[in-house]
Amino acid sequence: MPYIVIEEDRCKGCGLCTIACPKKLVSLSETPNALGYTVAVFSSQEHCTGCTLCAEMCPDVAITVFKEEN
Ligand code: SF4
Ligand code: SF4
């Protein structure tokens, strides 16, 4: 099943990935991290298609999409 990994250290909380995901699987955390950013959070592996739209949209290259079976 495809899934994504969000590198929290790179994420600036811009929210573009939350708009990009057609399945609405990415949201912003409600509490800021140590750097003060509300970072992106992947909510459900179950429905991810591996389309890579979230990763392509991220200006900070914080998202990696994995498509291998597991
Ligand atoms: S790869 Fe596609 S379906 Fe999966 S989280 Fe990213 S935008 Fe959503
Ligand atoms: S697009 Fe990238 S930097 Fe912006 S919230 Fe998503 S993961 Fe973070």
Please state the domain count of the chain. 1
CA distances from 35 to 12, 17, 20, 24, 32 (A): 9, 19, 24, 25, 7
Q: What is the pTM of this model?
A: 0.93
Q: Does any ligand 2 atom lie closer than 6 A to the CB of residue 20?
A: no
Check which CATH number belongs to the domain holding 44 and give it: 3.30.70.20
Ligand 1: residues with CB < 6 A are 4, 20-21, 23, 25-26, 48-54, 65
SS (H, E, C) the chain: CCEEEECCCCCCCCCHHHHHCCCCCEEECCCCCCCCCCCEEECCCCCCCCCCHHHHHCCCCCEEEECCCC
For 7-62, write each residue's pLDDT tens digit: 999 999 999 999 999 999 999 999 998 889 999 999 988 999 999 999 999 999 99
**Residue identifier of the C-alpha nearest atom 4 of ligand 2:** 14
Ligand 2 atom with least separation from CA of 28: 5
Full domain range(s) for residue 22: 3-66
